[in-house]
Structure 1
Amino acid sequence: MEDLKKRKLEETVGNAEFSSLEHLRTLLEPLPKPQLVDLLARLGSQYPSIAEEIKSVASADPVNRKLFVRGLAWNTTSETLCAAFSVHGEIEEGAVIYDKATGKSRGYGFITYKHMESTKAALKAPSKIIEGRMAVCNLACEGLSGSSTTPDLAQRKLYIGGLSPDITSEVLLNFFGRYGDIEEGSVAYDKDTNESRGFGFVTYTTAEAAKKAIDDPDKTFGGRNIIVKLADSHRNKMMQAQVSPAIPSMPYPVAAGYPQPGKPHGGVAPVGYAYPQALGSYPASYPSPTTAHASYASQPQMPYPHQVIGKKDATGLHPITPAGMGGYPYYMAKQ
């Protein structure tokens, strides 16, 4: 009997050591994150106390409660932004971001809820009209990597050109909503004047809806003929237009005195041309051109094509100096 009690006591002590916080931490640390998430999810579903603990820890982290809101009007204030998102729950902090140099809105802001459930509710309807423009939100930790940057965005985002100045973002979205659900969209406004720039963008949730808008033969909106095409193709066109045009080909400048194509030689050596090539060949044993030039520089010059024929030298050739060649001789066998 005493042996049985002793064995149970040892098992209890052993289990206590095995389930100690430090020992459990040692077991959990090497496990990969997906496995830990799965383990905690299963435990939370089985034990309500663990589920509450998980919610409490997660809600304490602002990462799960902070939203990034883009597409705001330039005149939207922090108060207006908070009022628009307060429908989902109590807001801990909210602000529009302004440029430090100009003091103007940068078109985006942040909302931090007190409870994670409020953030989830806001994310279920990420697009909302604020002062006539569609603002879009996602978790701030995701930055711009939300749904609008999915791989098929190029097939869902449209450029709408030729808009009337009185077309607002809300009117634009209502008009193009006939083709399908819109993820985000807005008229482009000038930052300084807050007036329409005559174009806008619409991003559909599906590529099929975007294709319907493009294929619709009726391109009349607000009493004007508009342009509807993929925004990516418009961007590429704009980039090509910004590339400098090719430099036109220019004729290579030719110094005065050189023969022009299709024209006879003028008979005058180019200005500054002090060392022309020999017009004929000469024996390898004869002095170099430099030496020959020095030897015959003093010979009289006559207008071209007259020639000055010197005395016959040892090679049996006659030095000949054409006018305009600066006294530079070439050699020609006596005919």
Structure 2
Amino acid sequence: MSHRPKVIAGVALAALLAGCGEQAATAPSPAASAAAPTSSAAPSAPATPVAAPDLEADPETVATGLDVPWGLAFLPDGTALLAERDTARVLRVRPGARPEQVLTVPGVEARGEGGLLGLAVSPGYEQDRWVYAYYTAAQDNRIVRFRLDGGGAPEVIFDGIAKAGNHNGGRIAFGPDGMLYAGTGDAARTATSQDRDSPNGKILRLTPDGDPAPGNPVAGSPVYSLGHRNVQGLAWDARGRLFATEFGQNRLDEVNQIDPGANYGWPEVEGTGGGSDYKDPLVTWPTDQASPSGAAIVGDTMYVAGLRGERLWAVPLGGGAPRAHFTGEYGRLRTVEVAPDGALWLTTSNTDGRGDLREGDDRVLRFPAG
């Protein structure tokens, strides 16, 4: 069944929007990193790999010749599902084998930054067999779920997220609490990010059926946090803390530590300096060094794929300066994920019309755990 976004109780939400003090603009603050989520819905700690990937080794090329790869999610057996933004294809990808098309998602309208975007695999996949996708349709952005065995058309579980040529968000992931989180964009309508009745410019927290998750900051609302411009990456650390990457406008891209009910300031503020009304980012970069997309966490390091910056950032969550890897080596980097075996998988995005093509693009690269 399709769900329209529920109306949010503005007065109640406003009472929850506690601002935070300023933090360093270029490196995470240890004090901020130690802060725990405040909601009763805070996720429990997931079992995450702790061995850092070997980024000095030559990567294994898992797949080549891809068309704007976007979402990437792993099945329990360690094989991956990959979404191609413009073709709407879902491919099964694994080392040593050619990519295998398993589905073309119907109803996808790929235009600009829209198309088939994020993928997520149900944490109960071995029982329910559900795979989830976020995509741009004729009228909106929406989330569907489907089974790979061809058991019927994809089921729309959440719709009504405004679409545009850019700022469609699109990253989805299951948290350690078993709930489905979705990062949305402002769809080039900046006011939506502060509109508590809009799902745009938000991080949403949903049940696997697409309903507002129990324990959200406002009962009956899907909104987990607001004031975002265009959320592109979601990742949890071993303590259950949620972090998100976000495109800035002209000055600063961001990594944010996400607290339930917090307001991250867009469009009133870009980067730090929001004062007590908004929560400052944990890390910022000039936009030409990042355009941060996918994110993954291994131990106490967050890996962030940079599009315009054409580099992989390693962000120490315990404090210290982020470190850049592969600057310009592979071109635009879209998605980074940790496989069940601890390897780091990285996708390029040079076929999206904004990159310089290299032989074999677009590719999936695999860096083994150290």
TM-score for both structures, normalised by structure 2: 0.22
- Relative contact order: is structure 1 or structure 2 higher (C-alpha 8 Å, sep ≥ 6)? 2
| Richer in strand (by share) | 2
| Richer in helix (by share) | 1
TM-score for both structures, normalised by structure 1: 0.24
